[in-house]
């Protein structure tokens, strides 16, 4: 039996709740090759972040587990660096110091000068060398996320885990960062797992798109191989029938096959006010 | 054109109006409050007759504060004269007999009001320092570990409301029993007062630090986990900077309480500070005593305010978030 670079087998997780254990994930099986860019997509609350946190080691799977290069993942570590949705830079450290902290923790026997070069190198990758001494509060949201990515890259991770990295950004900044991420991925060839809500983002960036079913007891519904040539250009792809086919596949999965979440929401709202139901139904029909 | 010509003047006028408004809220209103207070105080004082004479109004208190200053200057001059005489005497003896070892005796005059203020400040600083070096680490521990918090919380709740007056007899006896030395560096009354202050101003720092540490952004804790920071680095690089605002809130509350408690502690422990001054004046019972105590009351208030400002300045220096409004 061949094992991949990163393998999730039979992963399930229960969270304690007042009504007994709540099964958030069940039987998630996924093999990821080295250098692969994988997106996790699904509706809110389907456990995408939980999968990522299990790989990161921030959550412990109740059943099954994640194996990275033949070693089981039990705790968080820099070889599985995380880019958090809200950048999570330390607000009291400058851009340089934020990255430096990560470099110092994973120094790999570097000398002081080498560490300095390495910090600069990673900030250069994300085009942030102009703001080395700025505090996170002094730079824009997109820039913060760039620094967050530089910090993660500086740890030289085997797997880069990105939890909706561009979710909090405006569309233009997001597109800009997606291009940067593609550049970096092409240059470094990291293995990347990225969570996203954005269908275009998933198709544009990924080698494979993992589509998750709705919770509770969420699992992998379908996996879509995206066989578009790299480097990919968002403008050229906009009219590409293949690209649109992939987009369509993901949209179909989300809004036809896994439409259920809509009616669950509707059910909840029904309890709140019976008047709103009519509009909700038209809403979900439109979707 | 007409509009353009008029606009700047009205703009200028409204700006001046705005400035005046700001000035009035910044200066005039506090001044008004103060004047009203002085008026009410004066009126009330004239209608209160005590066994030590009429209750002092603002004028008498002002007189006494000048008196206290004069007494201080006189006492300082006397002390200087004493040391000068002593030096001359010693020099003369040395000139006669080269083997003579000069004796230097300290001046034994009673401490003045201003010297007592310094004693009080030293005592409260000592007590506050002891409390802080215990409370901050303990608070961090409580904030990091739910078990530690569960273990320590009942003790906090139990001892937090205890008055300094209840602690004082116990502390006095313990200090007398434990602090035994032929050549003590500190007087017992000083240590008793300082320890009592510590026992009372431990709690706000402890509680606020624990709350601050336990409410650190979860993402930052995850960052620390991913980076595998060791516990010491975790505390220094993540926990302390995050909880600085709450730690300082606690420290400021603690210092305020410490200063309040100190007066009571000094009164009973007879530590030569402001508390003893108030007590001595009360025992003295002269016609000026009440006015002199009132001077002490105002001095205590002003110093308490200045101590809080001092902490604010330190907080501004230490805080990384320069945009935060601190008050």
Q: Is residue B126 domain-resident? A: yes
**A56 with B227: Cβ contact below 8 A:** no
Q: Is residue B109 domain-resident? A: no
Q: Which residue has the higher pLDDT, A121 or B24?
A: A121
Q: Give yes or no for residue A35 having a pLDDT over 80.
A: yes
One domain, residues B92 and B139: no
pLDDT confidence of residue B108: 82
A82, closest residue in chain B (CA to CA): B226
One domain, residues B257 and B137: yes
pLDDT confidence of residue A260: 56
One domain, residues B257 and B209: yes
Q: Check CB contact of A58 with chain B, cutoff 8 Å.
A: yes
Q: What is the mean pLDDT of residues A226-238?
A: 87
Quote helix, strand, coil % in chain B, to nearest 5.
80, 0, 20
One domain, residues B76 and B200: no
**What's the total number of domains in chain B?**
2
pLDDT confidence of residue B158: 94
**B223 with A84: Cβ contact below 8 A:** yes
Q: Is residue B279 domain-resident? A: yes
Domain stops at, among B104, B135, B158: B104
Q: Which domains does chain A have, with CATH numbers?
A: 6-79+157-286 (3.40.50.300), 80-156 (no CATH)
One domain, residues B157 and B298: yes
Task: Render the burial of B305-321: b for 16+ CB within 10 Å, e for the rest.
Answer: eebeeebeeebeeebee
Q: Mind listing the pLDDT tens digit for each residue in A182-223?
A: 988 988 888 999 999 889 999 999 999 999 988 788 889 889
One domain, residues B201 and B314: yes
Rg of chain A, C-alpha, whole Å: 20
Report the CATH number at residue B266: 1.10.3720.10
Q: What is the mean pLDDT of residues A132-138?
A: 91
Nearest to B320 among A91, A101, A102 (CB): A91
Q: Is residue B301 domain-resident? A: yes
One domain, residues B213 and B284: yes
**A90 with B323: Cβ contact below 8 A:** no
One domain, residues B75 and B221: no
pLDDT confidence of residue A274: 43
DSSP per-residue letters across B277-318: HHHHHHHH--TTHHHHHHHHHHHHHHHHHHHHHHHHHHHHHH
Q: Is residue B327 domain-resident? A: no
Q: Give yes or no for residue A265 having a pLDDT over 60.
A: no
Bridge partners, A32 (sequence order): A6
Residue B215 Cα, gap to closest chain A Cα (Å): 15
In order along its 327 residues, chain B shows pLDDT tens digits of 444 444 445 556 777 888 878 877 788 888 999 999 999 999 999 888 888 888 899 999 999 999 999 999 999 999 999 989 988 888 888 888 888 887 788 888 888 888 899 999 999 999 999 999 999 999 999 999 999 999 999 999 999 999 888 999 999 999 989 988 877 788 888 999 999 999 999 999 999 999 999 999 999 999 999 999 999 999 999 999 999 999 999 999 999 999 999 999 999 888 889 999 999 999 988 888 899 999 999 999 999 999 999 999 998 888 887 667 776
Distance CA A5, CA A186 (A): 18
Find how far residue A89's CA is from the centre of its chain: 17
Q: Give yes or no for residue A273 having a pLDDT over 50.
A: no
**B226 with A82: Cβ contact below 8 A:** yes
Nearest to A105 among B220, B228, B321 (CB): B228
Q: Which residue has the higher pLDDT, A46 or B250?
A: B250
pLDDT confidence of residue B193: 93
pLDDT confidence of residue B96: 85
Short-list A9, A10, A39, A45, CA closest to A24: A45
Range of the domain at B95: 58-104
pTM: 0.80
B223, closest residue in chain A (CA to CA): A88
Q: Is residue B244 domain-resident? A: yes
**A78 with B225: Cβ contact below 8 A:** no
Q: Is residue B112 domain-resident? A: no
Average per-residue pLDDT in chain A?
Answer: 85
Q: Is residue B266 domain-resident? A: yes
Task: Render the burial of A56-71: b for 16+ CB within 10 Å, e for the rest.
Answer: bbbbebbebbbbbeee
One domain, residues B98 and B212: no
Confidence band, pLDDT 50/70/90 cuts, at residue A278: very low
One domain, residues B64 and B162: no
Measuring CA to CA, how many Å separate B22 from each of B26, B30, B158? 6, 12, 47
Q: Mind listing the pLDDT tens digit for each residue in A55-96?
A: 999 999 999 889 998 888 989 989 899 998 888 999 999 999
pLDDT confidence of residue B141: 95
pLDDT confidence of residue B134: 96
pLDDT confidence of residue B1: 43
One domain, residues B146 and B222: yes
Nearest to A101 among B219, B222, B237 (CB): B237
One domain, residues B163 and B209: yes
């Amino acid at each position: 039996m061949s094992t991949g670079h990163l393998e999730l087998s039979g992963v399930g997780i229960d969270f304690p709740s007042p009504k007994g254990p709540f099964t958030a994930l069940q039987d998630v099986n996924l093999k990821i090759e080295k250098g692969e860019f994988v997106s996790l997509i699904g509706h809110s609350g389907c456990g995408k972040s939980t999968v990522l946190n299990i790989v990161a080691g921030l959550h412990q799977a109740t059943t099954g587990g994640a194996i990275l290069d033949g070693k089981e993942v039990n705790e968080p570590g820099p070889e599985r660096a995380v880019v958090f949705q809200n950048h999570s830079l330390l607000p009291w450290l400058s851009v340089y110091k934020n990255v430096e902290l990560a470099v110092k923790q994973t120094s790999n026997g570097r000398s002081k000068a080498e560490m300095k070069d390495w910090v600069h190198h990673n900030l250069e990758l994300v085009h942030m060398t102009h703001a080395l001494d700025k505090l996170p509060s002094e730079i824009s949201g997109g820039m913060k996320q760039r620094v967050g990515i530089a910090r993660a890259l500086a740890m030289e991770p085997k797997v880069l885990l990105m939890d909706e990295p561009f979710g909090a950004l405006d569309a233009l900044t997001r597109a800009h960062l997606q291009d940067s991420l593609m550049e970096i991925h092409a240059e470094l060839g990291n293995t990347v797992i990225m969570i996203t809500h954005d269908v275009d983002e998933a198709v544009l960036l990924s080698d494979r798109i993992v589509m998750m079913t709705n919770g509770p007891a969420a699992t992998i519904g379908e996996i879509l191989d995206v066989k578009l040539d790299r480097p990919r250009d968002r403008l050229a792809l906009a009219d590409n029938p293949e690209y649109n086919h992939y987009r369509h596949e993901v949209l179909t999965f989300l809004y036809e096959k896994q439409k259920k979440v809509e009616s669950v929401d509707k059910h909840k709202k029904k309890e709140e006010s019976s008047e709103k139901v009519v509009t909700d139904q038209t809403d979900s029909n439109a979707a | 054109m007409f509009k353009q010509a008029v606009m700047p003047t009205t703009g200028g006028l409204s700006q001046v109006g705005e400035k005046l408004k700001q000035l009035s809220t910044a200066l005039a209103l506090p001044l008004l409050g103060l004047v009203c207070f002085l008026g009410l105080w004066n009126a009330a004082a004239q209608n209160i007759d005590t066994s030590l004479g009429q209750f002092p109004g603002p004028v008498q208190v002002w007189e006494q504060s000048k008196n206290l200053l004069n007494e201080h200057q006189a006492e300082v001059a006397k002390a200087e004269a004493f040391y000068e005489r002593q030096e001359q005497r010693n020099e003369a003896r040395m000139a006669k007999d080269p083997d003579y070892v000069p004796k230097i005796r300290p001046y034994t005059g009673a401490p003045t009001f201003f010297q007592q203020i310094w004693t009080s400040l030293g005592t409260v600083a000592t007590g506050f320092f002891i409390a802080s070096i215990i409370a901050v680490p303990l608070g961090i521990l409580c904030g990091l570990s739910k078990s530690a918090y569960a273990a320590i919380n009942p003790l906090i709740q139990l001892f937090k409301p205890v008055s300094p007056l209840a602690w004082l007899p116990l502390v006095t006896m313990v200090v007398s029993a434990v602090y035994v030395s032929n050549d003590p560096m500190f007087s017992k009354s000083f240590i008793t007062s300082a320890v009592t202050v510590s026992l009372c101003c431990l709690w706000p720092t402890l509680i606020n630090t624990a709350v601050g540490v336990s409410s650190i952004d979860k993402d930052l804790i995850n960052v620390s986990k991913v980076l595998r920071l060791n516990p010491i680095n975790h505390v220094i690089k993540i926990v302390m900077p995050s909880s600085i605002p709450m730690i300082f809130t606690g420290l400021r509350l603690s210092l305020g309480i410490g200063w309040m408690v100190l007066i009571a502690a000094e009164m009973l422990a007879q530590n030569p500070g402001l508390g003893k001054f108030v007590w001595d004046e009360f025992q003295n019972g002269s016609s000026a005593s009440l006015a002199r105590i009132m001077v002490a009351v105002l001095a205590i208030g002003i110093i308490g305010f200045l101590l809080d400002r001092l902490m604010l300045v330190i907080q501004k220096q230490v805080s990384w978030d320069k945009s935060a409004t601190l008050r």
